Amino acid sequence: MEMRPFSLDTVSKAFLVGAGFSPRQAEVVLRYRDASGGIRSEEQFRRCYVVSDEMADRLLPYIMFTADEVPADDVADDISMVADKAVRALVEINTADSAALISVRGIGPKSVTAIMRYRELLGGFYSVKQLAELDVVTESNYERILTQICCDSCKISKIDINFADPKELIRHPYVSAKALRRIVKQRQLKGGWSGIEEMIDDDIFGREEAERLAPYLRFVRDTIN
């Protein structure tokens, strides 16, 4: 496919497949985009675990991020200023303290405690949609809450899956006891993994489970024998 400038916020699965992704990888990119509320920078694009360095280097010259598409005139500057103010008014859920969270309409004292506890267990949120996993966030409040918050996924803490203590792993809400047993056993046999796809191939995680956990994992094998 002849490459032309494109925006990741509007591309289709078919376009991504034509650009070199497999159909499954294209679906992951689109889910990552939707969960993040858009892909706004090179760094954010590279953080998607199915985007290899080679793929990123090949596509980045053609990708137009939101900032690249804003015309440099007075009207655009005014719009940008309004947008910046709106973003600053949102509560960033990875750094918000209890006072900031309680200021969000739809979040009460009980919800604040649950959100902060869940944030600690996860290592931070990579998507505002993760709040829906909490029982205290009711369906009626969920949509209202989403309009008042944002999420900086750079704030999350990552687990070195090849070296992490089993006690650390089992504390994570996305790691089941069954997965932990497989991790420990396979890690002893092979030393570790180079990426999440390898863990899926080894039947450590199902694909849906892996995609949910992947943002929290770091793969370091330099010192593994």
How far is 40 from 167, CA to CA, in rounded Å?
36
Half-sphere exposure (CA, 13 Å, Cβ side) for 57? Answer: 3
Residue with tokens 């689109």: 30
> Helix/strand/coil (H, E, C) string of 161-195?
CCCCCHHHHHHCCCCCHHHHHHHHHHHHHHCCCCC
DSSP 62-129: GB--HHHHS-SSHHHHHHHHHHHHHHHHSEETTT--HHHHHTSTT--HHHHHHHHHHHHHHTS-S-GG
Its pTM surpasses 0.75: no
- Residue 164: its pLDDT value, please? 95
How far is 66 from 223, CA to CA, in rounded Å?
39
User: Is 223 a residue whose pLDDT tops 50?
Assistant: no
- Tell me: the pLDDT tens digits for 34-84? 887 888 888 888 888 888 888 888 888 888 876 544 444 544 554 454 444
End-to-end CA distance of the chain: 42
Maximum alpha-carbon separation in the chain? 62
- Tell me: the pLDDT tens digits for 133-175? 999 998 888 988 988 999 988 889 999 999 999 999 999 999 9
Please say whether the structural domain 90-155 has been given the CATH code 3.40.50.300.
no
Structure tokens at 65: 């991020």
How far is 94 from 187, CA to CA, in rounded Å?
31
Q: What percent of the chain stands above pLDDT 70?
A: 86
